[in-house]
Copies of this chain bind each other. A is one copy, B any other.
Amino acid sequence: MKKTEILYLKIAKIIEEQIQNETLIMGDKLPSVRSAHKLYNVSVNTIKLAYLELESRSLIESRPKMGYFVSRSALRNSELPSVANINPLESKNTPEDLIDKVFGTLNKSDVTQFALGLPGKDFLPLTKLNKSIITTLRNRNDAGTSYEPVQGTEELRRAIAKWALVMEGKITEDDLVITSGAMSAVYNALMATTSPGDSVAVESPAYFGILQAIKTLGLKAVEIPTHPLYGLDLDALKKVIPEIAACCIVSNFNNPMGFKMPDENKKELVRMITAYNIPLIEDDIYGNLYFGTERPKPCKFYDEADLVLWIGSVSKTLAPGYRVGWIAPGKFKDRIIRQKLVQTVCNSSLYSDVITDFLEHGRYDHHLRTFRNKLYNNYLQINRAVESYFPDNTKISQPKGGFMLWLELDERISTTELYNTALAQKINYAPGRIFSQYNQYHNCMRLSYALEWNERVEDSIKKLGQIIKNNI
């Protein structure tokens, strides 16, 4: 055992040196475990341990069914974005005009859409989905027109519960409520757990949809400093936790930062909210888009007190326009169902049937595997492109999944001011300013890489880099 330990560290050291001296460069595939065991003349197990060691240090990354690759973090030229200093004395406002502007261009097909929080058409199995719609209509000719139960069809809820292996059986169909996309789930979760005037802790930068929902419901957002790799600063949260009514986060492959909150932090967060009896709204819509070997656990997995409202959807992965999301609302289930009845009565039963079909026949998992590979490849592309074309002092997030890249640019840059310049060049991005209620993140931007990578996209990143360089 001792011998193996030394041996695997030695091999890890050799590979690390190859990475440092650029014998192996970012994106290179490492020898398979089997080849390496012959190459180094050590046991298969020693190689596995060496690779795990390198992976734990983010030097290499494993890709399911493909093996190990040199991680981009191994040779990062760029720093990570900073953790924000949040000044609650700063005047508050949500920059709604700016959000409207960004959303206003979404249907323009001649614009390169880095702003879109949605996968491009090329990533969706349109033919299969449409075939499923037609089959569903043939099997049940009133599938489209009938009302479904307010909670959602039992079939869809059961299919989601069965498919959500990450919960290891802790979720059943009874625990789930189908919602009109994840945004509706977040909105209703906030509504069910708070009263107007209450405070809600959120990450900073935060997904602007969450900030807007908080504002619409007459609530106050308390922005918590957030680390680009580890997420919510739990010490900072601890200080405000006695004053908040709920906490609302994107725990896995966060929007906009891309981090995966470490398991230990998730456990600690659940311990904290349980101690204070504070509901935790966990938007986990990117959780299945992991670059690593497995789907990360949600906070919900550690929730014994039924205080976590866990949210998922197929909008980011399969069919944005179907508006099929869900929530496992713990003890707030009855309230959520009642709110849904009052707001929209029910979902469209046709889409429920189609998604049930997709989940049950393993087609969703099959699609997710392909989709993850494409996204990881795109992530490598956009990271390379930004490092090539943007100023050297650009700080780049290091997403572990999902499809959002967060950039922190030179302090002299205002991505709000440059927005129109970029749009004139047919480039749409999400300016940093919309991810906070305070006047911050002016020098940041979020880029989505869930779009087919081609020359136009490459060229758009080049142009964007030039625009920024011209303004320093």
Binding site for B on A (CB under 8 A): 96, 103, 106-107, 118, 121, 124, 126-127, 129-130, 133-134, 137, 141-150, 180-181, 183-184, 187, 191, 195-196, 209, 212-213, 216, 218, 318-323, 338-339, 341-351
Contacts and interface: CB of A to CB of B under 8 A. Distances in A.
Contact of A323 (B107, B149, B345): B345
Contact of A319 (B129, B134, B144, B344): B144
Nearest to A318: B145
A319 B186 CA distance: 27
Contacts of A345: 181, 183, 209, 323
B118 A144 contact: no
A321 B145 contact: yes
A148 B321 CA distance: 8
B107 A149 contact: yes
A137 B141 contact: no
B96 A344 contact: no
B106 A147 contact: yes
Given A212-B338, A348-B321, A349-B321, A343 B183 contact: yes
Contacts of A144: 129-130, 133, 319, 321-322, 351
A346 B323 CA distance: 8
A129 B351 CA distance: 15
B180 A180 contact: yes
Contacts of A106: 147, 149
Nearest to A180: B344
A209 B338 CA distance: 11
A145 B124 contact: yes
Contact of A350 (B124, B195, B321, B338): B321
23 contacts: A96-B338, A127-B141, A129-B144, A130-B137, A130-B144, A134-B134, A144-B319, A145-B319, A146-B321, A180-B180, A181-B344, A183-B343, A183-B344, A183-B345, A187-B342, A195-B218, A196-B218, A212-B342, A213-B343, A216-B342, A321-B350, A323-B348, A348-B348
A106 B150 CA distance: 10
B342 A183 contact: yes
Contacts of A346: 321, 323
Given A106-B147, A187-B344, 10 more contacts: A107-B149, A118-B147, A134-B134, A145-B321, A146-B320, A146-B321, A196-B196, A209-B342, A212-B342, A348-B351
Contacts of A213: 342-343
A50 to B, nearest CB: 43
A351 B341 CA distance: 20
Contact of A142 (B121, B341, B350): B121
B145 A129 contact: yes
Contacts of A187: 342-344
Contacts of A141: 126-127, 130
A144 B345 CA distance: 21
- Complex A-B, nearest 5 residue pairs according to Cβ-Cβ distance, in ascending order: A145-B319, A180-B344, A145-B321, A130-B137, A212-B342
